[in-house]
Every structure is written in C-alpha cells, then in structure tokens.
Structure 1
C-alpha cells in the first residue's frame, strides 16, 4: 500500500471515530476527546478540547492577559511535547490547530461544531428557539467553542504507550475520553491528570 493511500485510510479511520464520538457526546467543560488512528507507520492524533479549559474563554481575546494566554497555549501546542510525548522512534510530520481562529481580527465560526443544536437549547432561558441561530451567528463569543489539534507522526517502531502531558497543565481539564484504531485493533480509555498514559496493549 502506497504512503498516500495509507494516509487516506488513516484519515478515514479517524473520521469514523470523530463521527461516532460527536454523536455520542455533548460539549462538556472539563472533558475533551483524543482520537488516534494508525495505518502502517503513519499515526494521527486528534484532540477535541473545550476552549474554556484550554484558554479560559471562548472568544477572541479581549484583554492583554487573554492575548498572552492565547500565545502561551499556541506555543505549547506547537511545541508538541507539552501536549503529547512519544518514543524517539516517532517523528512529527505535520501539525495543525484551530487556535488561529481565536486571534483578534479573525471571525470565529461555529458552523462546523457538531453540537450546535444542543448549544442552542442551552441558551433557551435567554433566547427563544426561533432566534437562537442569529444569536450564534452574530455573537459567537457566547457559543461553546472547541479547539481542534491534529498531529501526524511517522513511527519506525509502533509505540506501546504514549503520555498526554496536556493534562499536567490544563488545570480544569479533568477527563480525556480516548479512542483508537491501530494495526493491532481498537481500544478506548479515559485519561485523567493522575492517569495520563495511553496503553495500546491493554
């Protein structure tokens, strides 16, 4: 199987995980998701994390302190090791994240948020259902926002475990629901600050 086909297969497997997780879970502050897919040497790790837990806010930064927080989180995410740690046999090949959407001047969109209808109901006490769409569209700062972080690695030797270092500094993130589809099978676990290792051989 060519590398490009392997990559497509890996993405397809991850997409299945994303669809399953999105339909099964609501946006809950304090809880995030980690979705892992492997195809031969190619590994992909996708985090879906509440902005409230990563940044402390769900809108473009409005104060100098919020701007500093955003820059610090971007630095941690792009530094990789403050999010996950893998064996030296794994080399980062690509990375993407949605934190740029929170920079001043960027229009934050909630159109790709899989739980938009659930979020509309969360605001029913303040807004009638008929105008909830306009509320989300015009005032995105009040919508629940997730941060998406995706890493792709090439691993000469498949890791037996990985450490999610994110949980050591994201203080309000108390749970990370983790699922994986790898060459050896499928699995799931719930990570917490006191238990932040993913064991693929469990």
Structure 2
C-alpha cells in the first residue's frame, strides 16, 4: 500500500484562508462546509506556519457526519523530516500510520460514534509493504529538491459517524507525539464555531462553548 499526498481544495474568503473539506453524507450527497468557517475569527487568518511541537486539528460536522483532520510536523510524528532511508525509519512511519488509522488511540469523541474511514497523507510516497521507493541516479539533488519543496507535515483525515449529539472531544496529545506541545483546534458544527489551543494538560474540547 502506498501512502501519498492528496490535494485539498483551498478557499480564500475575506482574506481568511482556511482549509475547506468536502465529504459524502449518504443520501444527502456531497456537502461542502464553507460558510460556517467565516465565523471562526481572524486569529488564524493566514495558513498556519510550520512549527515544531505544534499541530492543528480541524473539525467539521454536517448532520450525523463528522470530519476531523489532524496535521503534525514530520519531526514530531516520526523524529525526522525526510523520506525514510533506513529500516528503522520505515518502521517508525508504519507504527505511526497504524496508530493514526485506529483513531481512538489519538482522539476520543464523547457519544456513540464509529470510524467510517481514515486516510494518512505523507509528503512523499511510502510503501507500507516494504517496496522500496524509486531512487534517481542523482539522489543527492533529488533529496535537496525534496527538502526544499516538501510540505513537512503528516495529515490524518477521519470520517466519523455519530448517532447522537457530540459535546466534547478529547485529544491524547502524548500518544500522538511526546514532543508535541500544543494543537490548534478549530471547529464548525451545527451548534456553532470555535477555536481552542489543546495541550497535554488541557486536552478536551467543549464544542458548545
């Protein structure tokens, strides 16, 4: 299995650049949640800068469907910021992917919810079955190009179905990464919008406040 980056749609409205996701809601078809995000505020008007020790979590709700997107610096997720070169580094990535895809290792939603899909996106191809990535003859130049141009983040996207209202979400920050200091969380639900900084000691989002 090969994990690769997927391209997301970016929408800029009133100088607010925010990642807008689309996801399928059964018979309701394809729903795009955009208008609600305009109320989230100007504190994060620009794209979040890449900072070690700082991640982001975006939460969207439409009816009983939720989408959560967790983004982390590669250094915090794996301990390195380049494509894996050793068996140990490949093992670290495989371990993270398994943990991330289980969802409730990292995040717990209060209520009767079930994971419907999980995708882990990396800034370069990675073969979970051990197949080696393509290496060019000029590996040094390829590596330099990769380090300059790669978005040094790993992203986990979750599709969640919940049978009842969700009022809180708890994030296990140390389980995600011991070096993670904070996670900037933003949400837009049917109850409202908000933002909060998650830390190891303050790790529960109360979505109605």
Name the TM-score class by shorter chain.
0.7 to 0.9
Q: Conserved in 1, the CA contact under 8 Å of 2:57 and 2:186? A: yes
User: For each residue in 1:9-64, what CA deviation from the matched residue of structure 2 results, as whole angstroms up to 9, or x when unmatched?
Assistant: 34x469878xx957242111111110001011111101121111101111111122
User: For each residue in 1:126-163, what CA deviation from the matched residue of structure 2 results, as whole angstroms up to 9, or x when unmatched?
Assistant: xxxxxxxxx89853135551111110111111211111
The runs of 5 or more residues in structure 1 that have no matched partner are 108-134
Match 2:175 to one of 155, 168, 171: 168
Q: Conserved in 1, the CA contact under 8 Å of 2:56 and 2:185? A: yes
TM-score, L = length of structure 1: 0.73
Aligned mates of 1:193, 1:102 — CA distance in 2:
31
Partner residue in 2 for 1:131: none
Aligned mates of 1:80, 1:106 — CA distance in 2:
30
State yes or no: 1:61 paired with 2:84: yes
Aligned mates of 1:48, 1:14 — CA distance in 2:
21
Higher helix share: 1
5 Å-filtered alignment, 1:1-202, equals 3=26, 5=28, 7-10=30-33, 12=34, 21=44, 23-99=46-122, 101-103=124-126, 104-105=132-133, 139-141=145-147, 143=150, 145-202=152-209
The alignment partner of 1:23 has SS state of: coil
The runs of 5 or more residues in structure 2 that have no matched partner are 1-24, 127-131, 136-140
* Equivalenced residues, count: 171
Q: Conserved in 1, the CA contact under 8 Å of 2:174 and 2:180? A: yes
Aligned mates of 2:79, 2:109 — CA distance in 1:
27
Higher strand share: 2
Runs of 4+ in 1 over 3 A off after TM superposition: 2-7, 12-17, 99-102, 135-138, 141-144, 166-169
